[in-house]
Structure 1
């Protein structure tokens, strides 16, 4: 398994200035590299305390690239519907060069009605705009004298500069939420997959990952080569009770921010977002303790989190896990403690061990079967 951090802000000016937020987030990115984490990831959102301090993940990751040398940089994710593909492909290719080829590109459709309204884009176009935008970026990265003729964008012949540092282009991942077809499409295209397990029952998440891997194989791609990213709200403390109490407090804070951001779904309907009209009720009914108990958040002492991860691996295989370590206006010191405890006492048991070692024995311990789960996403 591989582990990284997801810097998804759930704060606004009343909580912390943007200057202080970015200073702290960049310190965490540097710390993540020092501790041996695989990646740092951030999101694209607008306007709300839920994600709004990160309208452009490329800008933040460029700053992180300048301060690090090894760690992967992941957009988690950029939204093609909001940016012309020539501009987006150029920004990402530039970041890939600035980071010396450390970029992995996650794309998402977006899901907040107020964001689409601000850009003047109908939500019923989101799926087509997403598919067209990703295809256009891949063609611009890989080819020369590219001529593109889509429903929303026409251009060419053009040759993108700079070319990506990674050839033919960086690893591409696709964010999915509740729609199995999104997982199947990512598999058929040979792309990676990004999921937030807290929004589905474990059985449902496993079905979506299995469908993704099966679709990769049926399309002629190596099913084991497709990277699956899972993002989990995370809080570790030496004392299990303290971890649960503080994690609950930060989760409640984050949920309050999310309620505001998704409130427009109470009066929004779109054929591209079947079932999303229920998201407001789901966020309002979220139960933190139930989510932790059902393996939808990584919260507790290092020993407890090791057990939670063994369960995750049993359910979903050797995935790439992103720890959401800043949710709910968490102070820098607490985020850093979670990362240090995880790196020192959890991560070694799940990195690739030598056969016959104590790490291999610990990594092979069998976890419990998935429990029936309900609730909604805490962050992400």
Structure 2
């Protein structure tokens, strides 16, 4: 058995801690195309962009960015990471990603999530009081659309559809839809019952603690009549790779500290320290920072503990020089991935 390895990003545009200057949104978007092309060239399997609607992120339209890279790439899969389905229209989501699927010749995917940031709700006129109901209703509609050309559907937060077609249809049948989870039992059960692949965002603590959720997901799938052994399981975690551990830490720590403290001030977290960083990048921690051999060792441990079939490394916090981000992507494809795959074959 093998494992898919790829990159995820939110197209961060945070200020550099040293200079105080942030990359512009237009430059960050052009950098993303460069990253996707490189990831394809070095043999990575997937590149995902997570939707955000804030000044410190440039990723409000992932499908557009991915489509811009589709014609420049050959085999890499292109996915949202995630689509905030609760505040979007499932018809437009399907149309955007089926269009991406066409221009990429069948390489598009959707990760459907509720989103850990809430800026899109007031922006598109939705109430946070309807947070759960919006997601459940819109996921139901999205799955109906991908299953049938003509759709009849009625819900509480969107006008009904009566026997209308949704076009273009995807090259892949069906268009892959993943459930994105922050680690709640409800998400694991929902994905399992629907027979959909799941991706867990593991950004803190020990990844091995997600094992009960993986088990819950598989048991829910089996109970609903799906074969859990055929369902993909992915994780998404932050990290960075350089030729040496010292170089990786010196480049990544100031940047990730800045990002964590920005979000932490909004959410009431304690300040992010070097001790927090070093603890998280330990072998059993959720931060994948180090030289290629060490990062590979952590991914192999993750596979053995959780049985994941796909791993996303989130390398972008924008404050790291882009040439170093590109080097980290190159090392992930040319050094880390071969080590992991050889270890799993032995």
Q: TM-score, normalised by structure 1?
A: 0.83
Q: Is the CA contact (8 Å cut-off) linking 1:37 and 1:71 kept in structure 2?
A: yes
- Residue 23 (structure 1) aligned to one of 4, 21, 30: 30
Q: Is the CA contact (8 Å cut-off) linking 1:175 and 1:194 kept in structure 2?
A: yes
Residue of structure 2 equivalent to 1:116? 121
- Residue 324 (structure 2) aligned to one of 321, 334, 345: 334
Instruction: After superposition, give the CA deviation of every residue in 1:70-121 in whole Å (9 maximum; x if it has no partner).
Output: 1101111111222222222222221111211111110111232343233332
1-structure distance, mates of 2:78, 2:334: 22
Superposed displacement of residue 282, structure 1: 5.8
- The answer on 1:219 being equivalent to 2:243 is no
Q: Secondary structure in 1 aligned to 2:218?
A: helix
Q: Secondary structure in 1 aligned to 2:171?
A: coil
Q: Secondary structure in 2 aligned to 1:173?
A: strand
- Residue 307 (structure 1) aligned to one of 292, 297, 314: 297
2-structure distance, mates of 1:223, 1:140: 24
Alignment of structure 1 residues 22-61 onto 2, 5 Å: 22-49=29-56, 52-61=57-66
Alignment of structure 1 residues 1-380 onto 2, 5 Å: 1-12=3-14, 14-49=21-56, 52-153=57-158, 154-167=160-173, 169-259=174-264, 263=266, 279-281=267-269, 287-293=276-282, 294-351=284-341, 359=342, 362-363=343-344
Q: Is the CA contact (8 Å cut-off) linking 2:204 and 2:287 kept in structure 1?
A: no
Superposed displacement of residue 350, structure 1: 2.5
From the superposition, tell whether residues 40 and 203 of structure 1 become closer, same or farther in structure 2 (CA, over 3 Å).
closer
Superposed displacement of residue 283, structure 1: 7.0
Choose 5-14 or 99-108, whichever is displaced more.
5-14
Give unmatched runs, 5+ long, in structure 2: 16-20
From the superposition, tell whether residues 162 and 282 of structure 1 become closer, same or farther in structure 2 (CA, over 3 Å).
farther
2-structure distance, mates of 1:312, 1:81: 30
Q: Is the CA contact (8 Å cut-off) linking 2:43 and 2:334 kept in structure 1?
A: no
Instruction: After superposition, give the CA deviation of every residue in 1:352-378 in whole Å (9 maximum; x if it has no partner).
Output: xxxxxxx3xx3378xxxxxxxxxxxxx
Q: TM-score, normalised by structure 2?
A: 0.90
Q: Secondary structure in 2 aligned to 1:67?
A: coil
Superposed displacement of residue 163, structure 1: 1.1
4+ residue stretches of structure 1 with deviation over 4 A? 282-286
Q: Secondary structure in 1 aligned to 2:138?
A: helix
Q: Secondary structure in 2 aligned to 1:107?
A: strand
Superposed displacement of residue 338, structure 1: 1.1
Q: Secondary structure in 1 aligned to 2:281?
A: helix
Q: Is the CA contact (8 Å cut-off) linking 1:177 and 1:199 kept in structure 2?
A: no
2-structure distance, mates of 1:144, 1:24: 36
From the superposition, tell whether residues 343 and 93 of structure 1 become closer, same or farther in structure 2 (CA, over 3 Å).
closer
From the superposition, tell whether residues 176 and 65 of structure 1 become closer, same or farther in structure 2 (CA, over 3 Å).
same
- Number of residue equivalences: 336
Q: Is the CA contact (8 Å cut-off) linking 1:233 and 1:327 kept in structure 2?
A: no
Q: Is the CA contact (8 Å cut-off) linking 1:253 and 1:328 kept in structure 2?
A: no
Instruction: After superposition, give the CA deviation of every residue in 1:124-161 in whole Å (9 maximum; x if it has no partner).
Output: 31222112112212212221331111111212220111
Q: Is the CA contact (8 Å cut-off) linking 1:145 and 1:157 kept in structure 2?
A: yes
From the superposition, tell whether residues 364 and 86 of structure 1 become closer, same or farther in structure 2 (CA, over 3 Å).
closer
Give unmatched runs, 5+ long, in structure 1: 264-278, 352-358, 366-380
Superposed displacement of residue 220, structure 1: 1.5
From the superposition, tell whether residues 175 and 82 of structure 1 become closer, same or farther in structure 2 (CA, over 3 Å).
same
Superposed displacement of residue 319, structure 1: 2.6
Q: Secondary structure in 1 aligned to 2:230?
A: coil
1-structure distance, mates of 2:36, 2:235: 18
1-structure distance, mates of 2:113, 2:130: 13
Superposed displacement of residue 328, structure 1: 4.0
